[in-house]
């Protein structure tokens, strides 16, 4: 991929802008000790547009640009269910989850588990989350981002001061270092406000990439879209039948009524590095507006992250594996002069997610492990120091492990499947904790352990069962385990049950209108592309 002067100006201008904004919003009076609430939750002062932008920047990364485009190449538009169903999930989370979380005044998801259950449940899930964020999420995003950079730049080894550098490893180091540079010092506030810049680049540059790819295929973007629907009609089915070779990844109607809900409700409603944005809201209204704003962007995203993969398929891209589809388009069909913007969009997506994960790892480790177990009397200054240290350690570990993922075919599916070992049990614990007053700590702890045991057993003994169906089954089993254990303990109402009433779930008229619009759009899309 050959850059000219204006490409370099755009790319480096973006990098300088992000770093500058991150450091600027982190400025403070040096005479005043920095509080943990400022570093980890921006003093709960975020507005709806920052929340919505930060949610998308945290969510959309290389696993979408590269991984989902790869799945678009292999599977087709059906993979867009992750995006479109997420839009409806955001509405559900805004109405039923956020009022409970904000009412409890929590900083982290493990903190909620301690309030509702006990320290054992909190500690087990905190450790599970930190391990998952580092060894699955952070590592895979670094790998996919570096893979994109490698393929976009030609993939040749680089010679630096007499040393030969593997471009994949170099990309991992550069991405990790760039993200750490602006996020570790500034904390959550720096991450949230730079996410506004990241979203502007990733949406603008992503749409431009799709437009240019479709135009290269059909003479105009509209004609290009008509061509891909005509030349690859099998790629435009949202619901796959059992004869489809990709049924195991997207098991037909089970996507709409089964495991996809587990993945989405867990991800958007219980996942620290996502929900942390809404936890930092000024008010419940700002949180709900931010979530529904993100819902509208999610509807748009398949145009950015799925359609390019289908375009590459129709063009018969000479690639070795699906995850190379998006980099191939960038390398071959983006004209000089706009490559810098499109490449910046990709880097923005990767950096936004890395920053979100690093900050959430540091938040959970500091507040739920270090302060709760290791040093209960930790000062505000000490907590901020430990948070920064945890961020650096996490990104270094991920940078070491990331090159080991070279043999993956579809990294997006890898992330979804292995996150699926955690999500059913975690979602069951949260749902029962919020909405069933008899749920006990022992029941929750049994579910936390069972989700891993049952996942491994089913994967080993029934390998042909789609992982999405497996998640749905395990969710029901974990909920049953909580019910059985809790009833055996004999409580009519748990001493730590959350008191909720209908008034807690009230929303504004404007929110209701926007939610209905999202539902109408999704109904049309699924009906048209059934």
Does 473 fall in a domain?
A: no
Could you tell me the pLDDT band of residue 441, with boundaries at 50, 70 and 90?
Answer: very high
Q: Among 153, 465, 134, 397, which residue's Cα sits nearest to residue 273?
A: 134
Query: What whole-number distance in Å separates Cα of residue 415 and Cα of residue 348?
Result: 20
The distance in angstroms from the start CA to the end CA of the chain is: 38
pLDDT digits 0-9 by tens, 320-365: 888 788 888 877 877 776 777 777 777 877 887 888 888 889 889 9
Helices (DSSP H) in 246-283: which residue ranges?
254-257, 259-270, 272-279
Structural domain includes residue 442: no
Confidence of residue 57 (pLDDT cuts 50, 70, 90): confident
Q: Which of 141, 135, 147 is nearest to 171 (CA)?
A: 147
Predicted confidence at residue 28, as pLDDT, reads 57
Domain that holds residue 409: 5-17+42-329+336-413
With beta carbons less than 8 A apart as the criterion, state whether 254 and 472 touch. yes
Q: What mean pLDDT value characterizes the chain?
A: 84
- If one compares 510 and 28, the residue with the highest pLDDT of the two is 510
User: What's the predicted TM-score (pTM) here?
Assistant: 0.86
Q: Of 157 and 522, which is predicted with more confidence?
A: 522
Task: Assess if residue 451 is contained within a domain.
Answer: no
In the chain, the largest separation of any two C-alpha atoms, in whole Å, equals 72
**518 part of a folded domain:** no
Is 423 part of any domain? Answer: no
The CATH number assigned to the domain holding 391 equals 1.20.1730.10
Q: Identify the weakest region by mean pLDDT among 30-34, 152-156, 362-366.
A: 30-34
- Looking at the domain assignment, is residue 506 inside a domain? no
Secondary structure (H, E, C), 220-232: CHHHHHHHHHHHC
pLDDT at 530: 83
What percent of the chain is predicted at pLDDT more than 90?
Answer: 26
| pLDDT attached to residue 481 | 96
CB 477 within 8 A of CB 450: yes
- Count of structural domains within the chain: 1
Q: Is the pLDDT of residue 92 over 90?
A: yes
Higher pLDDT, 370 or 205: 370
Alpha helices in 153-258 (DSSP H): 167-218, 221-231, 254-257
For residue 506, what are the contacts with CB-CB under 8 A and spacing of at least 6?
none
The answer to whether residue 123 sits within a structural domain is yes
Confidence of residue 159 (pLDDT cuts 50, 70, 90): very low
Contacts of 516 (CB under 8 A, 6+ apart): none
Q: Is residue 58 part of a domain?
A: yes
Question: What percentage of the chain exceeds 70 in pLDDT?
Answer: 90
């Amino acid at each position: 991929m050959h850059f000219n002067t204006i490409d370099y100006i755009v790319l480096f201008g973006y990098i300088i802008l992000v770093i500058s904004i991150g450091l600027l919003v982190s400025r403070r009076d040096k005479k005043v000790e920095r509080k943990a609430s400022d570093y980890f939750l921006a003093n709960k002062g975020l507005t709806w547009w920052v929340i919505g932008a930060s949610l998308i920047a945290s969510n959309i990364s290389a696993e979408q640009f590269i991984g989902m485009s790869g799945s678009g190449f292999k599977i087709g538009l059906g993979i867009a269910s992750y995006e479109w169903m997420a839009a409806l999930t955001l509405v559900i989370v805004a109405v039923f989850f956020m009022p409970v979380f904000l009412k409890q005044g929590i900083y982290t998801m493990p903190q909620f588990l301690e309030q509702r259950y006990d320290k054992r449940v909190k500690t087990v899930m905190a450790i599970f989350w930190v391990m998952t964020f580092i060894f699955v999420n952070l590592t895979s995003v670094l790998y996919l981002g570096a893979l994109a950079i490698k393929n976009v730049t030609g993939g040749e080894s680089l010679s630096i001061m007499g040393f030969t550098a593997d471009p994949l490893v170099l990309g991992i180091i550069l991405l990790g270092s760039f993200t750490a540079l602006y996020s570790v010092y500034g904390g959550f506030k720096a991450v949230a406000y730079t996410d506004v810049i990241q979203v502007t680049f990733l949406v603008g540059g992503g749409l431009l990439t799709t437009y240019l790819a479709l135009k290269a295929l059909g003479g105009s973007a509209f004609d290009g879209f008509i061509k891909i629907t005509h030349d690859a009609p099998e790629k435009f089915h949202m619901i796959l039948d059992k004869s489809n070779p990709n049924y195991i990844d997207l098991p037909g109607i089970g996507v709409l009524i089964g495991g996809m809900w587990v993945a989405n409700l867990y991800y958007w409603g219980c996942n620290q590095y996502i929900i942390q944005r809404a936890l930092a809201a000024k008010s419940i209204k700002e949180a709900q507006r931010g979530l529904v704003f993100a819902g509208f962007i999610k509807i748009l995203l398949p145009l950015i992250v799925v359609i390019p993969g289908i375009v590459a398929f129709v063009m018969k891209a000479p690639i070795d594996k699906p995850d190379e589809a998006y980099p191939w388009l960038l390398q071959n069909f983006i004209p000089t002069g706009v490559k810098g913007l499109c490449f910046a969009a990709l880097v923005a997506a990767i950096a936004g997610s890395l920053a979100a994960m690093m900050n959430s790892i540091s938040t959970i480790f500091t507040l739920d492990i270090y302060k709760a177990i290791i040093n209960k009397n930790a000062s505000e200054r000490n907590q901020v120091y430990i948070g920064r240290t945890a961020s650096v350690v996490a990104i270094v570990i991920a940078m070491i492990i990331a090159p080991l993922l070279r043999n993956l075919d579809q990294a997006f599916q890898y992330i979804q499947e292995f996150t699926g070992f955690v999500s059913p049990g975690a979602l069951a614990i949260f749902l029962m904790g919020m909405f069933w007053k008899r749920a006990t700590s022992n029941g929750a702890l049994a579910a936390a352990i069972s989700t891993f045991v049952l996942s491994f057993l089913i994967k080993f003994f029934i390998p042909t069962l789609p992982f999405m169906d497996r998640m749905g089954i395990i969710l029901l089993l974990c909920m049953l385990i909580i019910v059985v254990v809790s009833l055996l303990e004999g409580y009519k109402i748990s001493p730590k049950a959350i008191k909720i009433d209908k008034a807690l779930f009230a929303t504004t008229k404007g929110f209701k209108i926007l939610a209905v619009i999202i539902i109408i759009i999704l109904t049309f899309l699924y009906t048209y592309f059934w």
